[in-house]
Structure 1
Amino acid sequence: MSIAPPSQDVLVSFRAVQKSYDGESLIVKNLDLDIRRGEFLTLLGPSGSGKTTCLMMLAGFETPTHGEIRLEDRLLNNVPPHKRDIGMVFQNYALFPHMTVAENLAYPLTIRKLSKSEIAEKVKKALGMVKLDNFGHRYPGQLSGGQQQRVALARALVFNPKLVLMDEPLGALDKQLREHMQLEIKHIHESLGVTVVYVTHDQSEALTMSDRVAVFKDGIIQQIDAANVLYEAPANSFVANFIGENNTLAGEVLAAEGDYYAVRLAGGDVVRALAVCQGDKGAVTSMSIRPERVRLADQAAGCENRLAGRLAEFIYFGDHVRLRLEVAGQNGFMVKVPVGQLDSGWRVGDTLDVGWSARDLRALDPLAA
Structure 2
Amino acid sequence: MQLTTEMEPLVRFSGVQKTYDGEHLVVKDLNLNIQKGEFVTLLGPSGSGKTTCLMMLAGFETPTSGDIFLGQERLNTLPPHKRNIGMVFQNYALFPHMSVEENLLYPLKTRKISKAIAKEKVDKILSKIKLKEFAHRRPSQLSGGQQQRVALARALVFEPQLVLMDEPLGALDKQLREHMQLEIKHLHEQLGLTVVFVTHDQSEALTMSDRVAVFNDGVIQQIDTPHNLYEYPANSFVAQFIGENNTLPGKIQSKEQNTCQVSFGDGFTTRALAGKNLNSGDKTQLSIRPERVRLNSGHLNLENQFNATLHEFIYLGDHLRLRCELAGNDQFYVKVPVNELCPNLKAGDRIQLGWSDQDVRALDYL
SS of the residue aligned with 2:334? strand
Residue matched to 2:75: 76
Residue matched to 2:150: 151
Question: What are the residue-to-residue correspondences of 1:79-94 with 2, within 5 Å?
Answer: 79-94=78-93
2:136 is the counterpart of 1:137: yes
Residue matched to 2:186: 187
CA distance in 2, matches of 1:258, 1:20: 41
Residue matched to 1:17: 16
The amino acid across from 1:281 in the alignment is S
SS of the residue aligned with 1:10? coil
CA distance in 2, matches of 1:106, 1:122: 9
CA distance in 1, matches of 2:257, 2:146: 56
Question: What are the residue-to-residue correspondences of 1:1-369 with 2, within 5 Å?
Answer: 7-367=6-366
Cα distance, 1:340 vs structure 2: 1.5
The amino acid across from 1:305 in the alignment is N
CA distance in 2, matches of 1:280, 1:115: 66
SS of the residue aligned with 2:134? coil
The amino acid across from 1:165 in the alignment is L
CA distance in 1, matches of 2:175, 2:88: 20
The amino acid across from 2:235 in the alignment is N
Spell out, residue by residue over 1:178-198, the C-alpha distance to the aligned partner (whole angstroms, 9 max, x if none): 111111101111100110000
Aligned-pair identity (%): 65
Cα distance, 1:136 vs structure 2: 1.1
SS of the residue aligned with 2:313? strand
Cα distance, 1:115 vs structure 2: 0.9
Cα distance, 1:6 vs structure 2: 6.6
CA distance in 1, matches of 2:95, 2:298: 60
SS of the residue aligned with 2:16? strand
The amino acid across from 2:208 in the alignment is M
Once the two structures are overlaid, the 10-residue window that deviates more, 175-184 or 54-63, is 175-184
CA RMSD of aligned residues (A): 1.1
Q: Are the aligned partners of 1:277 and 1:363 in contact in 2 as well (CA < 8 Å)?
A: no
The amino acid across from 1:199 in the alignment is V
TM-score with structure 2 setting the length: 0.97
SS of the residue aligned with 1:134? helix
SS of the residue aligned with 1:207? helix
Q: Are the aligned partners of 1:41 and 1:212 in contact in 2 as well (CA < 8 Å)?
A: yes
User: How many residues are matched?
Assistant: 363
SS of the residue aligned with 2:271? strand
The amino acid across from 1:61 in the alignment is F
Unmatched segments (≥5 aa) in structure 2 = none
Cα distance, 1:23 vs structure 2: 0.5
Unmatched segments (≥5 aa) in structure 1 = none
Once the two structures are overlaid, the 10-residue window that deviates more, 6-15 or 121-130, is 6-15
